[in-house]
Amino acid sequence: MSTERGPIYGVELLTELPLDNGMMQALPSRNDLESIQDLFNGTRIVAGYEVLLEHYRRKCAEVKALE
């Protein structure tokens, strides 16, 4: 878990995501997201990532509540 927040919507960023085989996938930091915005005019890319991440968090919370 990270204390960083996304640059567009302020979504709390994750540092890694678990994969099915027990491995962890590193996720972009705030600096990474800001670089994407600057290099590629990627505001929509970063906004989409933040929206997707927030939906993932909500679905995980729903699953946990159902368990």
The structure's pTM equals 0.85
pLDDT of residue 45: 93
Give how many domains the chain has, as a whole number: 1
Residue numbers of the domain that contains 23: 16-66
Give the Cβ contact number of residue 46 at 10 Å: 22
Question: In the chain, which ranges are E strands?
Answer: 16-18, 24-26
pLDDT of residue 42: 84
Whether residue 60 is contained in a domain is answered as yes
Distance CA 2, CA 39 (A): 24
Q: List, for residues 3-62, the tens digit of each pLDDT value.
A: 899 999 999 999 999 999 999 999 999 999 999 998 888 899 999 999 999 999 999 999
Whether residue 7 is contained in a domain is answered as no
